[in-house]
Structure 1
Amino acid sequence: MSGEYFLLLVTVIVAAQVGMGLHLIRTKRNPWAGRRLLGMPVRGSDLSLAQIRRMGFFFLIFAPLFWLLIAAMTFGLLGPVDGIEPIRDLPWRTA
């Protein structure tokens, strides 16, 4: 897989995770409370509001750190990775 496409895919995932973190931090109630899936209560429906906000805070902290790790991998800073071609030539570099 090309490093550019892999980094793009991870960027979309991290952006969604940051959005979810913001949503969880700003929530006023448990979004899973009272929900059922296939007749069983959804996991997390018994979490307190403080626990849900803490989860959102962790999403906001660790998602960008994960993106930095993946960016270092795709640019080849951590050595070769099987299955991913490192990004060598950047489009905005002319020489």
Structure 2
Amino acid sequence: MRIYVGNLPYSVTDDELRDIFSGFGELASAEVIKDKFSGQSKGFGFVDMPNNSEADTAIKALNESDMKGRKLTVNEARPRAERPRGGGRY
């Protein structure tokens, strides 16, 4: 299951995100999303956990938990909505 983790402190690294979730079971990946130009964290990330019951437990335990003074938003990731290509200019 892919898990969305929002409202992350900007200083959090991929390894710190992995450490938070590793106590709940096996992880396939953990990534903090960064701006492609500046490299600065965008304040959210994704964690992939192959076992859905472990993922559900992690979501319930970590949603609205405190991390470095910020209340995390943790839920099952939803697919991105399709967006039209191009700027619409003629």
The two structures have a TM-score, normalised by structure 1, of: 0.20
Query: Which protein has the bigger helix share?
Result: 1
Query: Which protein has the bigger strand share?
Result: 2
The two structures have a TM-score, normalised by structure 2, of: 0.20
